[in-house]
Amino acid sequence: MRASFHGEAKPIERLFDIAVRGEPVPLISIPETPLALKLVQDRADVDISDPAFDFVRSIRVFEITYQQRRNRDGDCNSWGSVYMGTYGAQGDYSRRRSSVSAVPAASDLAVPADCRDYRHRSVFVEWRDYEGSYGHEEVHY
């Protein structure tokens, strides 16, 4: 006795048929003509120097690592590392060393006045949109 299936098979049924019957798997066709790739380095592929694109240059990225703790002798030890990244006239990104005091107040970084155990590690991004409204986002990791 034979049974046949008419209609569109579910994906799992089709995979089972391919595995059991050993049917060749269709490959994705690749165009015969070579694709021309253009490598763009260190800049946007369009001119964004116009003041209309100032919102791109307003983006600042802060990589923040800070910790403090009291050691066995009772001394307060603190350590911080902050890098600030900005975008230039053509969208080129640059990053330089900065300081904890340069981190915007909108960040969750809150260095305690007393010397208690405290750790903070995040990337904080701030910007002004095309209308000049302030925005920010912080990701802790």
- What pLDDT is attached to residue 51? 85
Answer whether 0.75 is exceeded by the pTM.
Answer: no
Return the percentage of the chain with pLDDT > 90, whole number: 52
Residue 70 lies in a domain: yes
Number of folded domains that form the chain: 1
Can you give the pLDDT at residue 39?
61
Higher pLDDT, 100 or 42: 100
Secondary structure of the chain as H, E, C letters = CCCCCCCCCCHHHHHHHHHHHCCCCCCCCCCCCCCCCCCCCCCCCCCCCCHHHHHHHCCEEEEEEEEEEECCCCCEEEEEEEEEEEECCCCCEEEEEECHHHCCCCCCCCCCCCCCCEEEEEEEEEEECCCCCEEEEEEEC
- Report yes or no on 135 lying in a domain: yes
Query: Does some domain include residue 110?
Result: yes
Of 3-17, 64-78, 118-132, minimum mean pLDDT range: 3-17
Q: What is the pLDDT of residues 52-76, one digit of tens each?
A: 888 889 999 999 999 999 999 989 9
Does residue 39 fall inside a structural domain? no
**Domain with 57 in it:** 51-140
